[in-house]
Structure 1
Amino acid sequence: MFKKILVPVDGSEGSWRALDTAVELGKKFGGELHVINVIQPYNNAALLAVPLDHATVSQGNSELEKIGDKVLEMAQERLSTYEGETKFSLEVGHPSERIIAMAKKTGADAIVIGSRGLSGIAEFFLGSVSSKVAQYANVPVLIVK
Structure 2
Amino acid sequence: MYRNILIATDGSSLSARAVEHGANLAKALGATVLLLTVTERFHLFAVDADQLEETPTSFREHMQKQAERTLAEAAEIAARIGADATTVHLEDDVPYQAIIRTAESQRSDLIVMASHGRGGVSALLLGSETMKVLSHSKIPVLVVR
TM-score grouping bracket, smaller chain normalisation: 0.7 to 0.9
Q: Distance in 2 between matches of 1:4 and 1:131?
A: 21
Q: Tell me, what secondary structure is at the counterpart of 1:65? A: helix
Report the counterpart of residue 76 of structure 1 in structure 2: 75
Report the counterpart of residue 119 of structure 1 in structure 2: none
Q: Is residue 131 from structure 1 mapped to residue 131 from structure 2 by the alignment?
A: yes
Q: Tell me, what secondary structure is at the counterpart of 2:41? A: coil
Q: Distance in 2 between matches of 1:105 and 1:39?
A: 19
1:103 alignment partner AA: A
1:11 alignment partner AA: G
Q: Tell me, what secondary structure is at the counterpart of 1:112? A: strand
Any idea what the Cα deviations from partners look like across 1:5-45, whole Å, max 9, x if unmatched? 00011111111111111012112211100001110112286
Q: Tell me, what secondary structure is at the counterpart of 2:79? A: coil
Q: Distance in 1 between matches of 2:109 and 2:71?
A: 21
In the TM superposition, residue 60 of structure 1 has moved relative to its aligned partner by: 1.1
Q: Distance in 1 between matches of 2:55 and 2:44?
A: 14
Q: Distance in 1 between matches of 2:44 and 2:25?
A: 36
Q: Give the superposed CA RMSD.
A: 2.4
Q: Tell me, what secondary structure is at the counterpart of 1:5? A: strand
Contact 2:8 2:112 in 1 (8 A): yes
Any idea what the Cα deviations from partners look like across 1:46-80, whole Å, max 9, x if unmatched? 449xxx6xx71221122111110111111121122
Q: Tell me, what secondary structure is at the counterpart of 1:133? A: helix
* Structure 2: 5+ residue stretches without partners: 117-122
Report the counterpart of residue 120 of structure 1 in structure 2: none
Of 23-32 and 3-12, deviating more is 23-32
Q: Distance in 1 between matches of 2:30 and 2:101?
A: 23
Of 56-65 and 98-107, deviating more is 56-65
Report the counterpart of residue 3 of structure 2 in structure 1: 3
1:33 alignment partner AA: V
Report the counterpart of residue 36 of structure 1 in structure 2: 36
In the TM superposition, residue 135 of structure 1 has moved relative to its aligned partner by: 0.7
Corresponding pairs, count: 136
